[in-house]
């Protein structure tokens, strides 16, 4: 019985591997950028896990999976929700549609593979009709109307959705791990470097030791080897180079001389794993250190540190263009969203008008004394 179960499991794994290789061979372009590689890899995994081939694109089901059903397993082996925002889902679907459009209009590979599915005993015209039917169905399935995503244009976003910490809140956050343990030192170094440079979680996870001290016009800078869109950039530290004290202390205690800066820590917390951490681990690390905001414990996400860098740099007088370049944005409009709209305290109106009646008359009107 056990042998039968193992045999069935092995056969299922082999089918999955074969299907995944086929889907990847068709859908992954020869030289994808970082975003294409990540988004298409998610989609290929999803297709293959469901036993679907590349010519069965159910983008409506994939949209719902990303919005409502996606999950991941954390380092403790626990399943956690990993759903994506509407805007991020739109970006994923756009990348997938772009790849299918390229296959349908500028590549013979897809057509050749579909001809292989036809019955060789059929006539050439019958085989051609089958391939044309496949092409039409694929085009219909990947059309934007087949899997729409509704975006709500929000003038105002609640503080709980996008945190932008004040300097005293940043201090509270980076003090939370402590620096007396190896894990605490790593987490402190990670968060201070992120908030002092505005880098993304994936960029922090990918940092190499020699990225920490580069020069831009003579200024000590942090190098991001491959940011969003496959762009490399340098971020001057300026007076925030104090964050390197924590990073250097972590590297020294962890005995890291080269390679990835931030790495996993073995059970017991006394030694470091050779492999670097991933972006999801950065998120898990930050989830371990909620801070009190307005009397409530709040989880600070990695991207909140990016917004915090942008908003505080702006509040302290840094112009939008310099912030844009440091964050690696293509447009100033994107940078403005990170800085955020003026909050409630900044937007409350000045005392422009006064009540036309004296306090005594108002007290009679309201039935309450006015101090």
Residues annotated as catalytic are 200, 228, 303, 306, 329, 338
Residue 4 main-chain phi, psi, to 5 deg: -65, -45
Residue 13 has a CB neighbour count (10 Å cut-off) of 10
Burial class from Cβ neighbours inside 10 Å (0-12, 13-18, 19+) for residue 199 reads buried
Q: What is the dihedral of CA 360, 365, 367, 371, to 10 degrees?
A: -40
Residue 95 main-chain phi, psi, to 5 deg: -65, -40
Burial class from Cβ neighbours inside 10 Å (0-12, 13-18, 19+) for residue 89 reads buried
- Pairing outcome for strands 214-216 and 291-293: unpaired
Q: Which of 64, 82, 86, 60 is nearest to 73 (CA)?
A: 82
Q: Is 294 left (phi over 0), alpha (psi -120 to 50) or beta?
A: left
| Burial track 104-122 (b if 16+ CB lie within 10 A, e otherwise) | beeeeebeebbbeebeeee
Q: What tokens does 368 get?
A: 């309450």
């Amino acid at each position: 019985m056990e042998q039968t179960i193992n045999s069935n499991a092995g056969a299922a794994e082999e089918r999955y591997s074969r299907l995944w290789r086929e889907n990847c061979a068709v859908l992954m372009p020869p030289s994808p950028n970082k975003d294409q590689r990540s988004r298409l890899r998610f989609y290929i995994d999803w297709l293959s896990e469901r036993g679907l081939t590349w010519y069965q694109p159910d983008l409506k089901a994939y949209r719902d999976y990303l919005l409502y059903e996606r999950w991941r397993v954390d380092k403790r082996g626990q399943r956690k929700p990993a759903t994506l925002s509407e805007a991020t889902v739109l970006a994923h679907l756009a990348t997938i549609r772009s790849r299918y459009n390229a296959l349908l209009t500028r590549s013979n590979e897809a057509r050749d593979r579909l001809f292989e599915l036809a019955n060789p005993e059929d006539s050439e015209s019958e085989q051609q009709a089958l391939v044309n039917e496949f092409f039409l169905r694929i085009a219909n399935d990947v059309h934007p109307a087949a899997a729409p995503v509704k975006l709500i244009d929000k003038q105002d976003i609640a503080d709980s959705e996008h945190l932008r910490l004040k300097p005293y809140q940043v201090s509270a956050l980076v003090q939370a791990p402590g620096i007396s343990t190896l894990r605490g030192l790593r987490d402190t170094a990670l968060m201070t470097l992120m908030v002092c440079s505005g880098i993304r979680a994936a960029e922090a996870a990918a940092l190499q030791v020699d990225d920490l001290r580069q020069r831009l016009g003579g200024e000590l800078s942090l190098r991001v080897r491959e940011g969003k869109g496959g762009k490399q950039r340098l971020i001057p530290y300026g007076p925030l180079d104090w964050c390197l004290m924590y990073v250097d202390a972590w590297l020294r205690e962890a005995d890291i001389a080269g390679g990835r800066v931030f790495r996993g820590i073995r059970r017991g917390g006394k030694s470091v794993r050779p492999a670097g951490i991933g972006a999801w681990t950065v998120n898990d690390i930050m989830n371990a250190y909620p801070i009190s905001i307005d009397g409530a414990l709040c989880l600070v996400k990695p991207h909140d540190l990016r917004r915090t860098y942008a908003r505080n740099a702006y509040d302290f007088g840094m112009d939008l263009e310099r912030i844009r370049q440091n964050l690696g944005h293509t447009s100033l409009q994107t940078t403005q969203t990170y800085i955020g709209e003026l909050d409630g305290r900044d937007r409350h109106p000045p005392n422009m008008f006064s009540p036309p009646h004296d306090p005594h008359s108002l007290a009679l009107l309201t039935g309450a004394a006015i101090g």
